[in-house]
Amino acid sequence: MRRAFLSVVLLLAAFVVLPVSPASAAPYCGITWGSLQKSAPGLSQAPVTNLRTGQHTCYDRLVIDVAGRVGGYTVRYVPHITQDASGAVIPTRGAAALQITVNDPANSWAPANRLELSNVSGYATFRQVVHAGTFEGYTTVGVGLRARLPFRVLVLAGPGSSSRLVVDVAHRW
């Protein structure tokens, strides 16, 4: 009787699903991007023409339109956003600052408000998007974020001969 009971207990224990530890759990939304600097070499004279933002289920997105091929980029967390050439600090809302440098000029791109490039009120991660300037063929945009979170950078072709630099910032780790 005792052996039969033990056999049943052991058999049931084999089918019991133990909880997965947080360390081995799947990442949120499958995001595995990380928060270290991402960059690509290159320089282009194709001008930056527009910037827009959007909200997705797992991340907030920033898109920079370039009238031609994106020359290259550097995207990284910084202590604060600084204006191109002068180095003056541009205060941004949020607990973290992401600096995006596109290796393309923005000679004719003139945003109405350099401190509010896009209305991001109500976004899960973005708090503010600012234009930090264009200097010697490089254009810098700063994003104030809720926290230092994982991000990814994509370069997408089109429409036509244009291209887009896309920066997605996750809502959480």
Average pLDDT over residues 44-58: 96
- As for how many domains the chain has, the answer is 1
Per-residue pLDDT reduced to its tens digit, 126-136: 999 999 999 99
Q: CA 77 to CA 93: how far, in whole Å?
A: 14
Q: Which two tokens stand for residue 28?
A: 């949120």
pLDDT at position 1 is: 56
Per-residue pLDDT reduced to its tens digit, 69-80: 999 999 999 999
- Residue 152 Cα distances to 21, 22, 157, 165, angstroms: 26, 23, 17, 11
CATH number at residue 135: 2.60.40.3500
Give the CB-side neighbour count of residue 45, counting CA atoms within 13 A. Answer: 0
Structural domain boundaries enclosing 7 = 2-170
- Residue 81 Cα distances to 12, 93, 101, 142, angstroms: 58, 11, 11, 6
Average pLDDT over residues 168-173: 95
